[in-house]
């Protein structure tokens, strides 16, 4: 929210001003009619029906949510279809895990890039899904009519789940669609989303990581940026066009719509909209929740992950094999490691705490004037009491989750591996047939785990992470393995305990595991140190989670009623719900910004900046020789701008968050001009409080993408598929 002082905030609440500004908002597609006039003023040339239509192809049909087979409705990234053959683009960092999974020392696609010059060369990715929205429907009345004021939050949740399931099942009867009901505004509104979910997604192309991750951790969340953050995939279907798992006979998707690609370029002030699947925002967070975010969640995540990051950096630099094994894990860990620190800086610099406190002050003034509205008056107290009551448990659980369960990979594996529990059950039964089947079933899971596993690295990680937890967390909340094993048997010597683990644990090395499978016993599992530590850590985590809920019995109710009050204050004026991985649209404009006194950042960067940043001695800033050769002769083809420059990235003031990675940046004519991939550090408070003067979305220019495909990789087969607008 723009900082306009107390006068504006008073207007916001007491005079019924809108909570949202023109550029703030991740809007639901079916409700865009309310924003249409503003969008036209900013440069939109189409109609709302061109964006969202149930009856004919529209922009929504070209936007996909990337997910996993086990949780297809939770979209980790976004992509956009750019040909009539199911070809789509997303970010390099979105495809990073898939690229890594196909990489080896012999075929290092992370280092060298990957390009399929024919469809036969495209690589399948088991478990990855691509969702396209079919339709959405406001079902608030259908759910709210079954809720009563005297229900507890638990009772409400059960009814919401039951009715939501019934509505979802009815919506997809006789189809191959999938559906679910998502809550908005803290359970004050509900929408049904119906998707078609494809299950055969194949890798088509990706630049080397030196380009796709150019700038690494140093440039992450920063502008100016020069990262070529894209990768390419294709959706396949059964021959009849229906979703199907990977099969050789599958054919490329025939989409209802694909985006034309514009190489006309961008100018300061141009209209830009972004469609995608933003993960989560928390714009209605109170000052009490903000305090927990700053001083517990972000603080501890950054501090604990720093230990892990430093070890991974050192180990990955020591060999190519380790670099490949841990590349995706490092990227996943480091992204929100830096985010947590940068967000805390931005929240402090922008006085977000003061903004939240002023909102709450004005809310309470409004609540006092409502007749028979005791719930509104006590909502903030319920929230405050909840956060204060659970604080010590949240701190302890941050240590357990970040330091133990998500620290070394080995400690989480016994909890993830159903095969290990199945084998234990089979051994307990004594049935030789069951035991044989369980052993065979356990082999693939362990093989997949050990593919990206290095015992030396894991030993260093486990030693450092357990030691950090042991020395820093409140001993009153230790998992019981600490007093019963670490202190009792090893006198607090973490290194000695971990050394024993890697010498004796059935899980510590592939060799140990194979030896165990040759003669498996229940005793070997139960007495295994990794197994004991893993179960002990999870048991304490679950216990603390339960205590947290008991300590905050009315917090969920308080949050729901607080947001309900804000909606009433806002009246009928447009306001968008928090992001929750459902498809949204955000609109704005290309534009420069002034991050601090005496500094102005222009709205685009060029390949010249890549060469200026080059440092062959720093892995984050290595430039491939092929790119340097093309730069030297300025062989940019049709992708240069009017001044002969190759634009690499540009910025807009669109409202985005995690999950929007890979989202299409679309001009006023519905043409693709770039791919969103990051936000700027000065406004990292954006998930909690949108700062319209500083908020910027960082995008890779589609001309840089096409240049790399065409001139760098020579993949003209892919260029020929696209509808390129000049």
Percent of the chain with pLDDT over 90: 87
Which of these, 47, 263, 93, 8, lies nearest to 698 by C-alpha position? 93
Looking at the chain, the domain(s) classified CATH 2.40.10 span: 584-725
* Strand 261-262, strand 724-725: pairing: parallel
Determine phi and psi for 354, rounding to 5 degrees: -65, -40
Is 107 marked active-site? no
| Residue 8 pLDDT exceeds 80 | no
Segment holding 386, helix H or strand E: helix 374-398
For the segment 238-262, the average pLDDT, to the nearest whole number, is 98
* Strand 724-725, strand 77-81: pairing: unpaired
Q: How far apart are CA 541 and CA 547, in angstroms?
A: 10
Neighbours of 385 (CB within 10 A): 18
Place of tokens 């009715």: 163
| Residue 591 pLDDT exceeds 90 | yes
Q: How far apart are CA 23 and CA 695, in angstroms?
A: 9
Q: How far apart are CA 589 and CA 135, in angstroms?
A: 28
Q: What is residue 20's predicted lDDT score, i.e. its pLDDT?
A: 40
Q: What is residue 213's predicted lDDT score, i.e. its pLDDT?
A: 97
Q: How far apart are CA 78 and CA 357, in angstroms?
A: 35
Sign of the CA dihedral running 322, 328, 332, 335: positive
What fold is seen in the domain 584-725?
Thrombin, subunit H (2.40.10)
How far CA 285 is from CA of 503, 688, 695, in Å, comes to 48, 7, 19
For the segment 21-50, the average pLDDT, to the nearest whole number, is 88
For 311-337, give the DSSP string. Answer: HHHHHHTT-HHHHHHHHHHHHHHHHHH
Q: What is residue 10's predicted lDDT score, i.e. its pLDDT?
A: 34
Place of tokens 């903030």: 380
| Residue 443 pLDDT exceeds 90 | no
**Active-site residue, selected from the candidate residues 661, 663, 681, 685:** 661
Which residue has better confidence, 293 or 597? 293
For the segment 199-214, the average pLDDT, to the nearest whole number, is 98
Angle (nearest 5°) at CA 491 between 488 and 495 = 120
**Active-site residue, selected from the candidate residues 23, 108, 200, 229:** 229
Q: How far apart are CA 251 and CA 120, in angstroms?
A: 11
Q: What is residue 535's predicted lDDT score, i.e. its pLDDT?
A: 95
For all residues of the chain together, what is the average pLDDT?
Answer: 94
Q: What is residue 372's predicted lDDT score, i.e. its pLDDT?
A: 79
Q: How many CA atoms lie within 13 A of 359 on its CB side?
A: 25
Q: How far apart are CA 376 and CA 271, in angstroms?
A: 40
81 DSSP β-pair partners: 88
Q: What is residue 138's predicted lDDT score, i.e. its pLDDT?
A: 97
H helices present in 1-83, as ranges: 5-14, 36-42, 48-51
Is 661 marked active-site? yes
CB 674 within 8 A of CB 702: yes
Q: What is residue 24's predicted lDDT score, i.e. its pLDDT?
A: 84
133 DSSP β-pair partners: 195
**Active-site residue, selected from the candidate residues 75, 92, 93, 258:** 93
Q: What is residue 3's predicted lDDT score, i.e. its pLDDT?
A: 38
Map 269-293 to HEC letters: CCEEEEEECCCECCCCCCHHHHHHH
pLDDT in tens, 142-186: 999 999 989 999 999 999 999 999 999 999 999 999 999 999 999
pLDDT band at 23 (very low <50, low <70, confident <90, very high): low
pTM, full prediction? 0.93
Is 93 marked active-site? yes
Q: How far apart are CA 15 and CA 570, in angstroms?
A: 9
């Amino acid at each position: 929210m723009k900082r306009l002082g107390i006068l504006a905030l008073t207007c916001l609440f007491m005079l019924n001003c809108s909570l949202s500004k023109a550029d703030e908002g991740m809007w639901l597609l079916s409700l865009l009619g309310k924003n249409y006039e503003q969008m036209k003023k900013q440069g939109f040339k189409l109609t709302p029906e061109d964006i969202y239509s149930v009856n004919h192809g529209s922009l929504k049909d070209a936007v996909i949510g990337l997910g996993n087979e086990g949780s297809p409705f939770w979209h980790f990234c976004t992509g956009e279809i750019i040909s009539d053959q199911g070809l789509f683009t997303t970010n390099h960092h979105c495809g990073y895990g898939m690229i890594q999974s196909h990489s080896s020392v012999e075929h290092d696609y992370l280092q060298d890039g990957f390009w399929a010059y024919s469809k036969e060369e495209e690589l399948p990715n088991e478990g990855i899904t691509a969702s396209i929205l079919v339709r959405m429907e406001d079902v608030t009345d259908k759910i709210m009519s079954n809720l009563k004021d005297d229900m507890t939050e638990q009772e409400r949740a059960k009814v919401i789940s039951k009715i939501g399931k019934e509505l979802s099942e009815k919506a997809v009867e006789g189809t191959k669609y999938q559906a679910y009901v998502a809550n908005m505004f803290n359970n004050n509104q509900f929408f049904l989303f119906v998707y078609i979910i494809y299950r055969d997604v194949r890798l088509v192309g990706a630049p080397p990581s030196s380009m796709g991750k150019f700038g690494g951790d140093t440039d992450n969340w920063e502008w100016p940026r020069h990262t070529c953050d894209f990768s390419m995939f294709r959706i396949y279907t059964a021959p009849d066009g229906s979703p199907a798992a990977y099969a050789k006979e599958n054919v490329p998707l025939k989409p209802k719509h694909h985006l034309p690609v514009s190489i006309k370029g961008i100018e300061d002030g141009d209209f830009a909209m972004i469609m995608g699947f933003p993960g989560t925002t928390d714009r209605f967070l109170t000052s009490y929740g903000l305090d927990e975010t700053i001083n517990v969640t972000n603080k501890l995540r950054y501090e604990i992950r720093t230990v892990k990051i430093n070890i991974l950096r050192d180990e990955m630099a020591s060999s190519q094999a380790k670099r490949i094994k841990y590349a995706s894990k490092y990227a996943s860990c480091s992204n929100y490691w830096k985010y947590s620190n940068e967000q805390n800086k931005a929240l402090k610099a922008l006085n977000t705490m003061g903004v939240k406190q002023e909102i709450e002050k004005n809310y309470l003034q409004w609540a006092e004037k409502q007749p028979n509205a005791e719930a509104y008056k006590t909502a903030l107290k319920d929230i405050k009491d909840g956060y204060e009551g659970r604080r010590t448990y949240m701190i302890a659980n941050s240590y357990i989750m970040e330091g133990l369960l998500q620290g070394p990979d080995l400690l989480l594996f016994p909890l993830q591996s159903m095969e290990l529990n199945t084998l234990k059950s089979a051994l307990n039964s004594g049935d030789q047939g069951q035991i044989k089947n369980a052993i065979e079933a356990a082999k693939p899971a362990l093989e997949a785990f050990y593919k990206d596993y290095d015992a030396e690295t894991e030993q260093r990680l486990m030693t450092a992470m357990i030691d950090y937890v042991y020395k820093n967390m409140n001993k009153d909340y230790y998992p019981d393995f600490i007093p019963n094993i670490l202190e009792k048997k090893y006198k607090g010597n973490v290194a000695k305990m971990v050394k024993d683990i890697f010498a004796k644990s059935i899980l510590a090395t592939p060799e140990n595991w194979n030896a165990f499978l040759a003669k498996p016993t229940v005793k070997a599992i139960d007495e295994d140190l990794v197994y004991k530590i893993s179960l002990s850590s999870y048991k304490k985590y679950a216990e603390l989670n339960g205590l947290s809920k008991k300590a905050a019995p009315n917090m969920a109710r308080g949050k729901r009623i607080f947001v309900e009050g804000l909606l009433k204050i806002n009246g009928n004026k447009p306001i968008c719900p928090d992001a929750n991985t459902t498809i949204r649209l955000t609109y704005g404009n290309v534009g420069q910004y002034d991050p601090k006194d005496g500094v102005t950042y222009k709205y685009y960067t060029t390949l010249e900046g890549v060469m200026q940043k080059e440092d062959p001695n720093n892995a984050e800033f290595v430039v491939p020789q092929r790119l340097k050769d093309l730069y030297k002769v300025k062989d940019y083809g049709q992708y240069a701008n009017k001044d002969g420059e190759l634009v690499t990235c540009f910025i807009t003031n669109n409202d985005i968050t995690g999950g929007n990675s890979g989202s299409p940046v679309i001009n006023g004519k519905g043409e693709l001009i770039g791919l969103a991939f990051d936000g700027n550090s000065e406004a990292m408070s954006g998930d909690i409080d949108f700062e319209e003067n500083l908020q910027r979305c960082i995008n890779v220019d589609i001309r840089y993408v096409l240049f790399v495909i065409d001139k760098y990789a020579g993949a003209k087969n892919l260029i020929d598929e696209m509808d390129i607008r000049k």
